[in-house]
Amino acid sequence: MELFLQSIVNGTIQSGFFALAAVGLVLIFGVMGVVNFAHGELVMVGAYTVWFLHAQHNTPFLITIVIAISLVTVIGMLMEKFLFRPMRDDPLGGLICSIGVLFILQVAATLVGGDGPSKQVPPPFEGTMVLFDFLRIPYQRLFSIAVSIAALGLLWHFLTHTKLGWALRAVSQDREAASLQGINSNRISMIAIAVGAAMAGLAGALMAPLTNINPHMGHNVIITAFIVTIVGGVGSLSGAVIASVLYALYHTFVTTYFNGTVATISGLLIMVLVLIIRPTGIMGHRVSE
């Protein structure tokens, strides 16, 4: 029974990272209609920033999180300005540009961190909270899930209660209709990628003390983000968050009770199944032809 409850805790904590990464991907795809293959690398840059500033140069952890978020946001905005904007009407071209950025960011990481084994960041919050003398939640993980929920809450508020948020959602529903109502799509795209990149930077920063940091950690992030985006329904942020929690719990339980590879294979097959039954995902709407 303890294992069951512990797995629920493990799964919820993991869903925090999945949600932050997936929400960023959905926002960028929903608003700009381009698949950002370099999204995993944005998360990696967030993690490397925390490793380089905090682990190597002792900058306080909270400040490095802010720096990580702003650095990744700047990278995202540069990508929008120089790559995605010229490729506005050619999503495939945008996809290839993002792959180009993927290679460049990975090499930048090897230059910064060298080619040795994966990097580690000692967790700033020591110790573990023990509930009912068997449920163990390390404080660092508690911090990460708390910040994830707070960030998602902030995003939800921004999207539902601010003018900019409305514009973002309008563009993600129907880009042509939105531009008819005079919404300047370039400015909106810049905001969308800024918010999406910030989320990715935050996910990386929160993951840094909890996982192996290496130039290729982005690969797993992008696969999970794709699965969650699809199952949740493209263009639907709430779908992505719900799917993140479901997939994280599912993957945790199957890994605990069976084996990791079985978890991933079955996760992928479930995704294909969802696409067969509802080709637009649980919450999604049909992407306009």
Partner 1 sequence: MPGTVIRKTVAIGILFIALAILPHFLKYHHQDFLIFLVINVLVVVSYRLVTLTGEWSLIHAVMMGVGAYGSALLSKQAGLSFWISFPLAGGIAAIVAALLCFPLFRMTQFYFLIGSFAAGEAIRLSWIHFIKPFGGTSGISAIPSPELLDIDFLEPIPYFYLVLIIVTICLFLLFRIEKSRIGLTLHAVHWKASLAESIGVNTWNYRSLAFITGSFFVGLAGALKVHYIGTVTPKQFDIGFMVFILIWVIVGGYRTFYGAILGAVVLSVLDEMFREFNELRPAIYGAILIFSILYLPAGLESLPQRLKRVFGRKDRQMERT
Partner 2 sequence: MATHTQHPARRKFLKKAAAGTVAATTASVFPNIVLSANKTLTVGMNIPMTGDYAPWGLPGLYGCEIIANNINKEGGVTIGGETYDIKVASYDHGYDTEKALQGFKKLVLEDDASMIMMLGGSTVAAVLPWATRKKVLTTTLLPSDITPDSNYLVATCESHPLYNVTGVEWLARNFPDVKSAAIVTNNDAEYGLQSAATYQAAFEVAGIDVIDTHLHGFDVTDFAPIVSSVLAKNPDVFCMATSFYVTPIMEQLYHQGYKGKIISCTLDYYDEIIAKTSKEFVNGTIFQFPDFDDPKLQEAGVNFPDPAGFDAAFRKDHPNDWSAVAWEYPAILLNWLDAAKAAGSADSESVAATLKANKQEFVFGGGDWWGSQLWGLDNALVGRWPIVVIEDGKARIQEYGDVAGWLSNNKDVLVKHMKDLGLRTV
Q: Which residues bind partner 1 (CB under 8 A)?
A: 29, 35, 37, 83, 86-87, 90, 92-93, 95-97, 99-104, 106-108, 110-111, 115, 219, 223, 226-227, 229-230, 234, 261-262, 264-265, 268-269, 271-273, 275-276, 279-281, 287
Cβ closer to partner 2: 214 or 236? 214
Residue 114: what residue type? G
Shortest distance (Å) from residue 16 CB to partner 2: 10
| Window contacting partner 2 (CB under 8 A); options: 63-71, 86-94, 151-159, 211-219 | 211-219
| Assigned token pair, 160 | 């539902």
Give the containing element (helix H, strand E) for 43: helix 39-50
Rounded to whole angstroms, the Cα distance separating 256 from 233 reads: 27
Per CB under 8 A, which of residues 5..24 are in contact with partner 2?
Answer: 6-7, 10-11, 13-14, 17
Per CB under 8 A, which of residues 83..112 are in contact with partner 2?
Answer: 110-112
No. of helices (H) and no. of strands (E), the chain? 11, 2
Shortest distance (Å) from residue 272 CB to partner 2: 17
Rounded to whole angstroms, the Cα distance separating 68 from 71 reads: 5
Residues 6+ apart with CB under 8 A from 182: none
Per CB under 8 A, which of residues 234..263 are in contact with partner 2?
Answer: 251-253, 255-257, 259-261
Per CB under 8 A, which of residues 126..155 are in contact with partner 2?
Answer: 128, 130, 136, 138, 141
Residue 201: what residue type? G
Residue in the block written with tokens 């990628």 = 193
59 near partner 2, rule: CB under 8 A? no
Q: Is 19 left (phi over 0), alpha (psi -120 to 50) or beta?
A: alpha
